[in-house]
Amino acid sequence: MTKKIFLYSATLVLIYSCYQPQRDCAKFKKGNFSFTSEIDNKEITTTFMRNDTLEIDFFNGVADTSSVRWINDCEYIVKKLHPKSKSEEQSIHMKILSTTENSYTFEYNIVGKSQTSRGTAIKLE
**Distance separating alpha carbons of residues 46 and 90, to the nearest angstrom:** 19
Say how many Å lie between the first and final Cα of the chain, rounded. 54
Long-range contact set of residues 63-71: C-beta below 8 Å, sequence gap at least 24? 70/29
Burial (0-12, 13-18, 19+ Cβ within 10 Å), 91:
middle
Which has more confidence, 17 or 34? Answer: 34
pLDDT tier for residue 23 given thresholds of 50, 70 and 90: confident
- pLDDT of 109: 94
pLDDT in tens, 35-61: 988 778 888 889 999 998 999 999 888
Dihedral sign for Cα atoms in the order 93, 105, 121, 30: positive
Looking at domain 22-123, does it have CATH number 2.40.128?
Answer: yes
